[in-house]
Amino acid sequence: MKTLPAISLWTALAVAFVPAAHAQSGAYPSRPVKMVVGWSPGGATDLLARMVSTELSQQLGQQVVVDNRPGANGTIGHAQVAAAPADGYTLILATNSTYAIAEHLYKSLSYRHERDLAPVSLLASSPLILAVRPTLEATGVKDLLALARKQPGRLNVASGGNGSTSHLAAELFMSLTGISMTHVPYKGGGPANNAVAAGEVDAAFLDLGVALPFAAAGRLKAIAVTGTSRSPLLPDVPTVGESGVPSFESTTNFALFAPAGTPRPIIDRLHQAVHKVLSGNDLRDKLRRQGVEIVDSSPDELRRAAAAESAKWARIIRERHISLD
């Protein structure tokens, strides 16, 4: 008789434990998953999120809902996910501007990416185009460098805003080549693209998908792409590295993260589902038409890639004295 309470206690504990253990394995997800995007609807990150979320919903058996939380160059959404419960039901599709760059520009951020976010997978990568106005006497990077060295500071370079990937690409370019160009920030990549096409500025590093129609129409000259290999959409345009700046590389990278502390079985379940999504030819073809290439990775590979990018851009931001605080 004295053993009955003990037996009842162990039975109760066992019953209580089973749902928790099951929730961390086969039961996830048991309800819709939210995928936060730190940018407004209609942009490149939002479009990628909607493509991925549709197919990820099928793989997970639960709806994956895109939740736009724009503001402060993507950091508002990033901060919200960093503070969310670590249960796998709140994710963020982020770019390297928020997971590798932002904390070096904003000293007062409420989060630290490596501490507060858990990597799931790289998703995709897109190079920028180094473009010049149609009337500039430069058909390649070497011509642009010669003009800049002849008149230091006279040429200007547009960007999508202070601290944007296009701004940092320009700063990296100037750092590696030793030239001086005047930075002209615009409120977004679209206005910067239009400024080059209108001849208001001399050059800019532009999103490939946005700039491509302008280049095809002769409204701007694409003289290089910023990835490590040529773009299939611009096979005749060399990389910046090919053009005499071998250590230059600057791309927009997209990746999926969960809050730090998310159980590893849930991270693995998400990664497995994402891997299947990225393996589909339909998504690959859709993205490639936009100048975006799929880049799959393991969580650990993403962790290392994010850390390497963070170190790279921290050095450039420090050397070029860039701050947004």
Q: Which domains does the chain have, with CATH numbers?
A: 21-126+252-319 (3.40.190.150), 128-225 (3.40.190.10)
pLDDT in tens, 167-206: 999 999 999 999 999 999 998 888 999 999 999 999 999 9
Residue 24 has pLDDT above 50, yes or no: no
Q: Which residues contact 129 (CB under 8 A, 6 or more apart)?
A: 205, 206, 207, 208, 211, 212, 215, 222, 224, 225, 226, 234, 237
Containing 223, the helix (H) or strand (E) segment is strand 221-225
State the pTM of this model. 0.86
State whether the Cα torsion 255-256-261-267 is positive or negative.
negative
Phi (first) and psi of residue 123, to 5 degrees: -120, -50
**What mean pLDDT do residues 250-259 have?**
97
Cis? peptide before 19, omega within 30° of 0:
no
Q: Is the pLDDT of residue 5 over 80?
A: no
**Mean pLDDT across 238-252:** 96
Confidence of residue 90 (pLDDT cuts 50, 70, 90): very high
Comparing 12-16, 94-98, 252-256, 298-302, which segment has the lowest mean pLDDT?
A: 12-16
User: How do residues 126-168 score in pLDDT, each as one tens digit?
Assistant: 999 999 999 999 999 999 999 999 999 999 999 988 999 999 9
Apex CA 44: angle with CA 307 and CA 197, to 5°?
110
Distance CA 228, CA 250 (A): 9
According to the model, what pLDDT value does residue 323 have? 86
Pick the closest to residue 34 from 55, 61, 53 (CA basis).
53
Torsion angle of the four alpha carbons 118, 36, 212, 284, in this order, in degrees rounded to the nearest 10: 60
How large is the average pLDDT for residues 91-97? Answer: 96
